[in-house]
């Protein structure tokens, strides 16, 4: 085993797991056995980080942590490979419907045909369910539209058209699945300079479908206003979408100020295609980098536990 060099904060960023989950897996299931510094701070080896990554994937794939926590690393690799093969097979069987819907949506955008786009989205909601539609149609559609706009295959008018139609559709989804009075609150928006809001709308719709009460703020808001909304609503978490541009010199400062304004117990979740470009700042302020909607779903499930520990020791 290599030297134990990684703090729990670093491990949280690398694995997407919360400190609370990591500690529970350690204490209750002996999944990892971190070393300790002279000041009793946990330190994890590369092998332990790898174990946690496999355990994360396996539990998300349906395995109980109690059955896999103490398996040898080689066995975890084997199970993960089996899960991946099974998932690919299932995707091949069920993905054709989503692929057809995605093609229909792209054709509707190219033709500026709002009725056709709305019809395909509604059919997808019926055939795939809300989470299936969000993850397998609308998320890749937003990605494709962005790519087509960037390489000049479609115009800004097409991109704005698609955003308008999807915004209305997702707005209905957010309202339809709004949580109850006791539901945790998620504030969603984009920071100053981030004008593309489809990613934020996807987050809002997904969280609403999971039973969260979503306060959706829209695009391009200053750090103080984002933090103020989180304080006023007593939000459990704040989620940001970063899509474009990837080199905004102002954004590092905005993100830093946002973390300073936010209550320390409120996690900051950041995703979107541009998010990795700001990874250094996100790491510095302790933000949780969200890789995709599936990762967001897992993170929101963990954050619903009000007794979670803060990310730290």
What is the DSSP secondary structure assignment for residue 212, as one 8-state letter? -
Q: What is the pLDDT along the chain (313 residues), one digit of tens a residue?
A: 445 588 998 898 888 888 888 988 999 889 999 988 889 889 999 999 999 999 988 887 778 888 899 999 999 999 888 877 766 665 555 556 788 999 999 999 999 999 999 999 999 988 888 888 998 999 999 888 888 887 788 888 998 899 899 988 887 766 655 556 778 999 999 999 998 888 999 999 999 888 899 999 999 999 999 999 999 999 999 999 999 889 999 999 999 999 999 999 999 999 999 999 999 999 999 999 999 988 998 899 888 865 544 444 4
Give the HSE-up count for residue 184: Cα atoms under 13 Å, Cβ half-sphere. Answer: 19
The CATH number given to 8-71 is: 1.10.1660.10
How many residues in the chain?
A: 313
CATH 1.10.1660.10 in the chain, residues? 8-71
CATH 1.10.1240.10 in the chain, residues? 95-176
Helical H runs in 137-268? 139-150, 156-176, 198-209, 223-233, 251-261
Separation in Å, CA 172 to CA 80, 120, 207: 37, 15, 13
- What is the fold, at CATH topology level, of the domain defined by 95-176? 1.10.1240
Residue 255 to residue 287: CA distance in whole angstroms? 9
- What is the fold, at CATH topology level, of the domain defined by 179-313? Rossmann fold (3.40.50)
Residue 36 to residue 10: CA distance in whole angstroms? 15
CATH 3.40.50.280 in the chain, residues? 179-313
Residue 124 to residue 44: CA distance in whole angstroms? 43
Q: Whole-model pTM?
A: 0.65
């Amino acid at each position: 085993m290599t030297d134990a060099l990684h703090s729990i904060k670093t491990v949280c960023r690398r694995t997407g797991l919360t400190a609370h989950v990591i500690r529970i897996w350690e204490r209750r299931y002996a999944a990892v056995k971190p070393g300790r510094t002279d000041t009793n701070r946990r330190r994890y080896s590369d092998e332990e980080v790898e174990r946690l990554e496999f355990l994360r994937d396996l539990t998300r794939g349906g395995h109980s942590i109690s059955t896999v926590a103490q398996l040898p690393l080689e066995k975890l690799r084997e199970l993960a490979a089996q899960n991946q093969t099974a998932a690919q097979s299932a995707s091949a069987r069920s993905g054709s419907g989503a692929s057809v819907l995605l093609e229909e949506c792209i054709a509707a955008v190219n033709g500026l045909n709002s009725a056709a786009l709305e019809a395909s989205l509604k059919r997808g909601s019926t055939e795939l369910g809300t989470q299936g539609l969000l993850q397998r149609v609308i998320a890749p559609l937003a990605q494709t539209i962005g790519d087509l706009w960037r390489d000049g295959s479609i115009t800004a008018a097409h991109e704005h058209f698609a955003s308008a139609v999807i915004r209305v559709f997702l707005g209905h989804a957010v309202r339809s699945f709004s949580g109850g009075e006791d539901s945790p609150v998620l504030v969603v928006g984009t920071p100053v300079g981030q004008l593309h809001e489809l990613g934020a709308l996807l987050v809002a719709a997904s969280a609403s479908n999971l039973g969260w009460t979503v306060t959706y703020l829209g695009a391009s808001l200053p750090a103080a206003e984002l933090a103020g909304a989180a304080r006023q609503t007593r939000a459990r978490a704040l989620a940001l979408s970063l899509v474009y541009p990837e080199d905004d010199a102002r954004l590092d400062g905005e993100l830093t100020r946002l973390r300073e304004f936010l209550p320390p117990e409120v996690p900051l979740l950041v995703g979107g295609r541009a998010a990795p470009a700001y990874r250094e700042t996100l790491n510095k302020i302790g933000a949780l980098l969200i890789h995709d909607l599936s990762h967001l779903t897992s993170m929101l499930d963990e954050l619903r536990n009000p007794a979670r520990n803060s990310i730290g020791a």
